[in-house]
Structure 1
Amino acid sequence: MSLWLVRPLLCTCVLAAVMAENLGAAEARRYASSDSDAGYVHWIDLYDTSNRKITADSTLPYSPQNTCGRCHDEQTISHGWHFNAFALGSTQGRPSEPWIWDDARTGTQLPLSYRSQPETQRSTFDPRDIGLTPWRMASQFGARFPGGGFGTPEQAAGPAPETAENTDDSESPIPQSPRWDFSGNLEIDCMVCHATSGQYDFESRRHHIDDENFAWAPTAAMHLATVEGRVSRIKDDADPEDEKTQAALPKLSYDAERFAPDGTVFFDLVREPDNNACYQCHTTVHVNDDGMEPAWIHDEDVHLRAGMKCVDCHRNGLDHDTVRGFPGEKRADGFSVSTLSCQGCHLGEESSGLASEKITSRAGRLGSPTPLHAGLPPVHFERLSCTACHSGAVPRDEATRIMTSLAHSLGAKERRTGFESPQIQGPIYRKLADGKIYPERIMWPAFWGILEGDAITPLNPDDVFEWTRRPLRVRKSFIEELASDPEKFDEKVGASLAAIETETGAEQAVYVSSGAVYGRLEDEAGNFSLELLPGDFGAAQPVSWPIAHNVRPAGWALGAAGCVECHSDEGKIFTSVVKPLGPAPLDAEPVTMASLQGLDAAQLMRWNQLFAGRSSFKVLVAISLAILFVIMLIGVGSVAGLLTRRLSSEGESKS
Structure 2
Amino acid sequence: MYRNGCIIIAFLVLLTLPAWAWSHQDVWLRNEQGDRITATLNSVDPYSPQKTCGACHSYSTITSGYHFQQGFDVMKDGYDAGKPWILSPGMFGAWLPTAAAGRLAAKNNSSARQIDLSTYDWIGAGKVSAKHRIKNPSCGSCHPGGGPMEFGRDARGRADGSKTHVTGEAANPGALDGDYSSRFTPDGKSAFRQSGVVEADCMICHNPGYRLEERSEQLYRRNYRWAASAGAGLGKVSGAVFTYRNPSAGPGQPGYEAGVWNLSKRPVVSYHWSNHGMFTADGRMKGSLIKKSVSSKSCLQCHAEGEAKNTGTAFSPDSDVHVKAGMTCSNCHPLSGKTKAQRLTHQIAKGKSLTSHVRDDLDGLGMKTCIACHSDGQYQITRQGAKRQARNPQATHARLLAGATFHTYLISCQSCHATSQPLRAMTILDMSAGMEYGYTADNFDGASRAED
Give TM-score, length-normalised by structure 1: 0.42
Task: Report the alpha carbon displacement of residue 256 of structure 1 after superposing the two structures with TM.
Answer: 3.2
d(CA) in 1 for partners of 2:429 and 2:436?
16
Name the amino acid aligned to 2:286.
F
How do 1:260-299 and structure 2 match up within 5 A? 260-267=280-287, 268-284=289-305, 299=318
Aligned residues: 324
Match of 1:337 in 2: 366
Change (3 A) 1:215 1:293: closer
Match of 1:52 in 2: 35
d(CA) in 2 for partners of 1:392 and 1:214?
43
2:349·2:365 contact (CA, 8 Å) conserved in 1? no
Match of 2:230 in 1: 220
1:193 aligns with 2:211: no
2:351·2:364 contact (CA, 8 Å) conserved in 1? no
d(CA) in 2 for partners of 1:478 and 1:124?
9
Aligned pair partner of 1:319 in 339, 342, 345:
345
Match of 1:246 in 2: 264
Name the amino acid aligned to 2:293.
E
d(CA) in 2 for partners of 1:150 and 1:230?
22
Change (3 A) 1:578 1:61: farther
2:333·2:366 contact (CA, 8 Å) conserved in 1? no
d(CA) in 2 for partners of 1:392 and 1:216?
45
1:369 aligns with 2:391: yes
Match of 2:147 in 1: 149
Change (3 A) 1:234 1:180: farther
How do 1:373-384 and structure 2 match up within 5 A? 373-374=397-398, 375=401, 376=404, 378=406, 381-382=409-410, 384=411
Task: Report the alpha carbon displacement of residue 180 of structure 1 after superposing the two structures with TM.
Answer: 1.6
Aligned pair partner of 1:127 in 104, 109, 116:
104
1:160·1:173 contact (CA, 8 Å) conserved in 2? no
Q: Which has a greater percent of helix? A: 1
d(CA) in 2 for partners of 1:45 and 1:286?
39
- Gaps of at least 5 residues in structure 1 are 1-35, 91-110, 162-171, 349-361, 403-423, 426-442, 449-464, 466-476, 480-512, 515-571, 584-655
1:76 aligns with 2:61: yes
1:346·1:369 contact (CA, 8 Å) conserved in 2? yes
Name the SS for the 2:291 alignment partner: coil
Name the SS for the 1:278 alignment partner: helix
1:577 aligns with 2:419: no
Task: Report the alpha carbon displacement of residue 69 of structure 1 after superposing the two structures with TM.
Answer: 0.3
Change (3 A) 1:300 1:379: closer
Name the SS for the 2:236 alignment partner: strand
Name the amino acid aligned to 1:266.
K
Name the SS for the 2:263 alignment partner: helix
Name the amino acid aligned to 1:56.
A
Change (3 A) 1:377 1:269: same
Query: Residues 66-122 of structure 1, C-alpha deviation per residue, up to 9 Å, x if partnerless?
Result: 1000100010111113112141248xxxxxxxxxxxxxxxxxxxx9994269xxx98
2:304·2:314 contact (CA, 8 Å) conserved in 1? no
Task: Report the alpha carbon displacement of residue 335 of structure 1 after superposing the two structures with TM.
Answer: 11
Aligned pair partner of 2:328 in 298, 309, 334:
309
How do 1:117-516 and structure 2 match up within 5 A? 127-128=104-105, 131=115, 132-139=117-124, 140-154=138-152, 159-160=156-157, 174-177=178-181, 178-195=190-207, 197-198=208-209, 200-233=210-243, 245-247=263-265, 249-257=266-274, 259-267=279-287, 268-284=289-305, 299-316=318-335, 317-325=343-351, 337=366, 340-348=368-376, 362=377, 364-366=379-381, 367-372=389-394, 373-374=397-398, 375=401, 376=404, 378=406, 381-382=409-410, 384-391=411-418, 393-394=420-421, 401-402=424-425, 424-425=426-427, 443=428, 446=431
d(CA) in 2 for partners of 1:342 and 1:250?
50
Name the SS for the 1:127 alignment partner: coil
1:133·1:175 contact (CA, 8 Å) conserved in 2? yes
Change (3 A) 1:578 1:42: farther
Change (3 A) 1:138 1:386: farther
Query: Residues 19-78 of structure 1, C-alpha deviation per residue, up to 9 Å, x if partnerless?
Result: xxxxxxxxxxxxxxxxx9852432111111232221214232001111000100010111
d(CA) in 2 for partners of 1:75 and 1:255?
30
Name the SS for the 1:52 alignment partner: coil
How do 1:560-571 and structure 2 match up within 5 A? none
1:138·1:151 contact (CA, 8 Å) conserved in 2? yes
Name the amino acid aligned to 1:80.
G
Query: Residues 373-412 of structure 1, C-alpha deviation per residue, up to 9 Å, x if partnerless?
Result: 4434535754x543344347448xxxx743xxxxxxxxxx
1:87·1:158 contact (CA, 8 Å) conserved in 2? no
Change (3 A) 1:64 1:158: farther
Name the amino acid aligned to 1:378.
F
Match of 2:128 in 1: none
Percent identity reads 26
2:223·2:241 contact (CA, 8 Å) conserved in 1? yes
2:222·2:240 contact (CA, 8 Å) conserved in 1? yes
- Gaps of at least 5 residues in structure 2 are 1-18, 76-84, 107-113, 125-137, 159-175, 182-189, 246-260, 336-342, 382-388
Name the amino acid aligned to 1:71.
C
Name the SS for the 1:227 alignment partner: strand
Name the amino acid aligned to 1:115.
P
Query: Residues 315-354 of structure 1, C-alpha deviation per residue, up to 9 Å, x if partnerless?
Result: 1121110012459x9998999626x123322233xxxxxx
Name the SS for the 2:26 alignment partner: strand
The RMSD of aligned alpha carbons is 4.6
Change (3 A) 1:43 1:123: same
d(CA) in 1 for partners of 2:141 and 2:32?
20
Change (3 A) 1:127 1:331: closer
How do 1:516-535 and structure 2 match up within 5 A? none
Change (3 A) 1:580 1:300: closer
Which deviates more, 172-181 or 135-144?
172-181
d(CA) in 1 for partners of 2:281 and 2:57?
25
Task: Report the alpha carbon displacement of residue 314 of structure 1 after superposing the two structures with TM.
Answer: 1.2
Change (3 A) 1:347 1:173: farther
Change (3 A) 1:63 1:122: closer
